């Protein structure tokens, strides 16, 4: 039933076998010359994103293929294979298919509007068992097999982003690799473009980042200049550089970066593949301090400790630069996967303030030290105002250092401050002296040793948790647990938010509040605020529409600016019949989906919409059709 022959495919989809691009090597031995891939959609042969680009918290693992802002283009099996896994969600990959091929490798097709009809019916049969619109199922044992070129789905916009097809190839070990290493091609004769240079000044001796500066590039075509950079100690360079392709306005990641001094190669990286569990190492492959402030991915030309990505082929002294007093010409070469190349030059002048060490650099810490004079980035302290009778700072070694609050937007309780050194490869716990708040660090959470200071301050209606240093990347999530103070314990509407101090914004973090204990997973070390949300979600006027498959849907506009919509708790009944409640966060509406639903001239709706804090809005209404 699931096996199709599609001899009707147009010449648009026929791709001839082409060798590996010039200047690249074949790092994937299972890719024999006889292995050919089919372009996976009839939407376009243009890309909006390429492999290993910067994302908010991870490396991009595939190609994004343009669909011109539209949905419903056909998606085809790139090779013969069995369906390994399917998922449906309003977040992440959205509606996604994982296909396993005969050599054990995989292809992935994400953000689909829907699957082909037979596979969609199979997925719906799973979802309607418990009325859960969100599923993630491994179904390889069912033997659903498709041949190369078979229709498997339709492009869409589910999950993250506007309409497009996200397409991945993965090795038999499930490692994403660049699909352009195969016979798949796009038209690209344009060299990369340098925009900015990041200079990370490192502390002599410790090599921890002290400060950074950014210089804009001048030049065009394939030649760029950054002028003179003056350094008094060791520096690590990073670049904001992108690639272009013909006939498209989108910008892409470059394939390789090389840094040279005269004929000496100091650093070389090339993004061909990476382990899926290491994709969050983007946070240290890029300069995270610059990233959180500018939201731009400056690719480092040096390798910090803990970075396990397989990109780095040459890194003298891990790419850190520190020479004797004098001026040194530096060249940075960026190449795309088709061999188009650009070069940027700069003069690096060391002023002789700090002499370079003769020892080879083998360790570059990714984390800065806490600020020794500011124990709480969100609280104001006055170190000159000391009161030996009020111990406010308690370290992990129980050493007491007295501080006094002088200006603080909090009114209840004395802040607790704890400082501790945390090490990777070992499960650690950071807790307040009263044991009411503790953060669990799994053994694989940290990239390197980290000395962290945490300040906890309770208010009448909220709790603030600040860290120094702040905004730090982690490899795997942390678990925060907080026993609420008595005066907040009955407040069921307390919600946890991450604070972005650079944009003066707060972001809701999904959390649980059970028997007075708040628990949540943290994807980064970032200052937090626990505050109440008492505002129920807004619900707009429902309407009936058809989706691209021809099914009738009831569309319910919804909004909640604080804790978002909890679509999994929300319910919609139409004429007394329950359906799946799907959610589109980009378009801000819930959807009632039941493939058996046929509208009546007058339809009775029962709607319950929850937000993340548990506030509910109910609506009972009639809808004519």
Q: What is the pLDDT of residue 386?
A: 31
Q: Are residues 409 and 336 in the same domain?
A: no
Range name among 36-40, 392-396, 462-466 with the lowest pLDDT average: 392-396
**Residue recorded with tokens 């690249």:** 24
Q: Are residues 547 and 507 in the same domain?
A: no
In angstroms, the CA 25 to CA 115 distance is 36
Number of helices (H) and strands (E) in the chain: give both, helices first: 3, 46
Residue 413: pLDDT band with limits 50, 70, 90: low
The domain boundary residue, chosen from 131, 146, 181: 181
What tokens appear for 497 in the block? Answer: 């938010």
In angstroms, the CA 479 to CA 427 distance is 12
Q: What is the pLDDT of residue 319?
A: 96
Residue 609 inside a domain? The answer is: yes
In angstroms, the CA 557 to CA 430 distance is 42
Would the pLDDT of 38 be above 50? Answer: yes
- Residue 119 belongs to domain spanning: 11-181
Residue 141: what are its φ and ψ, rounded to 5°?
A: -65, -20
Q: Are residues 139 and 91 in the same domain?
A: yes
Q: What is the pLDDT of residue 21?
A: 38
Q: What is the pLDDT of residue 134?
A: 97
In terms of DSSP H, where are the helices of 24-107?
none
In angstroms, the CA 325 to CA 553 distance is 71
Residue 370 inside a domain? The answer is: no
Q: What is the pLDDT of residue 29?
A: 80
Domain count across the chain: 4
Distances (CA, A) of 410 to 406, 407, 459: 11, 9, 5
* CATH code of the domain containing 510: 2.60.220.30
Q: What is the pLDDT of residue 247?
A: 87
The domain boundary residue, chosen from 331, 350, 369: 350
Residue 30 inside a domain? The answer is: yes
Would the pLDDT of 2 be above 50? Answer: no
In angstroms, the CA 430 to CA 418 distance is 8
Q: What is the pLDDT of residue 405?
A: 33
Residue 220: pLDDT band with limits 50, 70, 90: very high
Exposure on the CB side of residue 386, measured as CA atoms within 13 A: 7
Q: Which of 260, 215, 216, 211 is nearest to 232 (CA)?
A: 211
> Helix, strand or coil for residue 551?
coil
What tens digit of pLDDT does each residue of 348-368 get? 999 999 999 888 999 999 999
In angstroms, the CA 325 to CA 170 distance is 47
In angstroms, the CA 131 to CA 555 distance is 17
What tens digit of pLDDT does each residue of 264-318 get? 999 999 999 999 999 999 999 999 999 989 989 999 999 999 999 999 999 899 9
Those residues whose C-beta lies under 8 Å from the C-beta of residue 536, and which sit 6 or more positions away, are 560, 611, 615, 616, 617
Q: Are residues 214 and 308 in the same domain?
A: yes
Whole-number mean pLDDT of the chain?
Answer: 88
Q: Are residues 522 and 563 in the same domain?
A: no
Q: What is the DSSP letter of 54?
A: B
Range name among 11-15, 21-25, 427-431, 514-518 with the lowest pLDDT average: 11-15
Q: Are residues 311 and 410 in the same domain?
A: no
Q: What is the pLDDT of residue 6?
A: 34
Residue 227 inside a domain? The answer is: yes
In angstroms, the CA 370 to CA 386 distance is 21
Would the pLDDT of 376 be above 50? Answer: no
Q: Are residues 524 and 617 in the same domain?
A: no
Those residues whose C-beta lies under 8 Å from the C-beta of residue 39, and which sit 6 or more positions away, are 13, 15, 45, 78, 184
pLDDT, mean of residues 530-555: 96
What tens digit of pLDDT does each residue of 379-399 get? 433 333 333 333 333 323 322
Phi-psi region of 157 (alpha: psi -120 to 50; beta: other; left: phi over 0): alpha
* CATH code of the domain containing 565: 2.60.40
**Percentage of the residues of the chain whose pLDDT score is greater than 90:** 80
Q: Are residues 210 and 302 in the same domain?
A: yes
Would the pLDDT of 613 be above 90? Answer: yes
pTM: 0.88
DSSP code per residue over 206-218 = T--EEEEEEEE-E
Residue 459 inside a domain? The answer is: yes
Burial class (CB in 10 A: 0-12, 13-18, 19+), 25: exposed
Residue 277 inside a domain? The answer is: yes
Q: Which of 353, 297, 299 is nearest to 324 (CA)?
A: 353
In angstroms, the CA 219 to CA 371 distance is 39
Q: Are residues 71 and 93 in the same domain?
A: yes
pLDDT, mean of residues 566-571: 97
Q: What is the pLDDT of residue 326?
A: 96
Paired sense of beta strands 341-350 and 326-335, if any: antiparallel
Those residues whose C-beta lies under 8 Å from the C-beta of residue 25, and which sit 6 or more positions away, are none
Distances (CA, A) of 509 to 220, 505, 615: 43, 13, 16
Distances (CA, A) of 347 to 225, 257, 318, 324, 332: 9, 18, 20, 14, 11
Spell out the SS3 assignment of 250-272. Answer: CCECCCEEEEEECCEEEEEEECC
Q: Are residues 249 and 329 in the same domain?
A: yes
Q: Are residues 198 and 281 in the same domain?
A: yes
Would the pLDDT of 492 be above 90? Answer: no
Residue 278 inside a domain? The answer is: yes
Residue 367 inside a domain? The answer is: no
Q: Are residues 216 and 232 in the same domain?
A: yes
Position with higher pLDDT, 30 vs 166: 166
Q: What is the pLDDT of residue 30?
A: 78
What tens digit of pLDDT does each residue of 80-117 get? 999 999 999 999 999 999 999 999 999 999 999 999 99
Would the pLDDT of 24 be above 90? Answer: no
- 533 neighbors 510 (Cβ within 8 angstroms): no
């Amino acid at each position: 039933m699931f096996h199709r022959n599609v001899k009707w495919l147009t010449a648009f989809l026929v791709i001839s076998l082409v060798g590996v691009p010039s200047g690249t090597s074949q790092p994937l031995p299972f890719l024999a010359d006889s292995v050919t891939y089919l372009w996976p959609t009839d939407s376009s042969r243009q890309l909006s994103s390429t492999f290993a680009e910067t994302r908010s918290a991870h490396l991009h693992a595939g190609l994004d293929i343009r669909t011109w802002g539209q949905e419903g283009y056909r998606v085809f099996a790139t090779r013969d294979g069995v369906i390994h896994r399917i998922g449906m969600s309003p977040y992440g990959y959205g509606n996604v298919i994982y296909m396993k091929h005969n050599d054990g490798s995989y292809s992935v097709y994400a953000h689909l509007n829907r699957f082909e009809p037979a596979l969609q019916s199979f997925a719906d049969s799973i979802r309607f068992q418990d009325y859960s619109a969100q599923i993630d199922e491994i179904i390889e044992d069912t033997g659903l097999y498709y041949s190369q070129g078979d229709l498997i789905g339709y492009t869409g916009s589910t999950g993250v982003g506007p309409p497009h097809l996200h397409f991945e190839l993965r090795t038999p070990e499930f490692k994403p690799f660049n699909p352009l290493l195969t016979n798949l091609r796009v038209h690209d004769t344009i060299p990369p473009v340098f925009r900015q240079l990041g200079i990370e000044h490192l502390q002599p001796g410790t090599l921890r980042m002290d400060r950074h500066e950014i210089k804009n590039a001048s030049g065009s075509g394939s030649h760029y200049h950054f002028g003179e950079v003056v350094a008094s100690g060791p520096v690590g360079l990073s670049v904001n550089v992108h690639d272009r392709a013909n006939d498209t306005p989108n910008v892409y990641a470059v394939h390789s970066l090389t840094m040279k001094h005269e004929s000496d190669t100091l650093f070389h990286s090339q993004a061909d593949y990476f382990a899926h569990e290491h994709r969050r190492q983007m946070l240290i492959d890029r300069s995270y301090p610059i990233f959180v402030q500018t939201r731009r991915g400056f690719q480092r030309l040096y390798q910090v400790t803990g970075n396990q990505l397989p990109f780095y082929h040459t890194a003298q002294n891990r790419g850190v630069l520190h020479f004797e007093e004098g001026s040194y010409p530096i060249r940075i070469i960026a190449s795309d996967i088709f061999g188009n190349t650009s070069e940027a030059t700069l003069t690096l002048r060391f002023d002789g303030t700090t002499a370079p060490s003769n020892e080879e650099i083998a360790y570059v810490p990714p984390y800065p030290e806490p600020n020794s004079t500011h124990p709480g980035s969100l609280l104001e302290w006055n170190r000159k105002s000391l009161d030996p009778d009020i111990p406010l700072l308690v370290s992990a070694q129980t050493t007491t250092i007295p501080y006094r609050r002088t200006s603080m937007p909090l009114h209840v309780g004395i802040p607790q401050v704890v400082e501790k050194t945390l090490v990777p490869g070992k499960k650690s716990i950071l807790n307040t002296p009263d044991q009411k708040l503790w953060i669990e660090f799994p053994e694989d959470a940290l990239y390197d040793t980290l000395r962290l200071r945490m300040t906890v301050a309770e208010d009448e209606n909220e709790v603030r948790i600040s860290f120094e240093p702040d905004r730090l990347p982690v490899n795997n999530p942390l678990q925060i647990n907080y026993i609420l103070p008595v005066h907040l314990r009955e407040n069921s509407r307390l919600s946890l938010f991450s604070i972005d101090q650079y944009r003066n914004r707060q972001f809701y973090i999904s959390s649980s509040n059970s028997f007075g204990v708040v628990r949540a997973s943290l994807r980064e070390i970032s200052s937090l605020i626990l505050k109440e949300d008492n505002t129920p979600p807004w619900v707009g006027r429902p309407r009936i529409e058809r989706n691209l498959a021809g099914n009738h849907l009831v569309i319910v506009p919804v909004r909640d600016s604080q804790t978002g919509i909890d679509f999994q708790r929300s319910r919609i009944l139409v004429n007394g019949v329950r359906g799946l409640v799907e959610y589109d966060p980009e378009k801000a509406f819930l959807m009632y989906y039941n493939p058996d639903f046929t509208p009546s001239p007058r339809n009775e709706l029962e709607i319950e919409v929850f937000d993340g804090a548990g506030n509910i809005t109910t609506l009972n209404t009639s809808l004519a059709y």
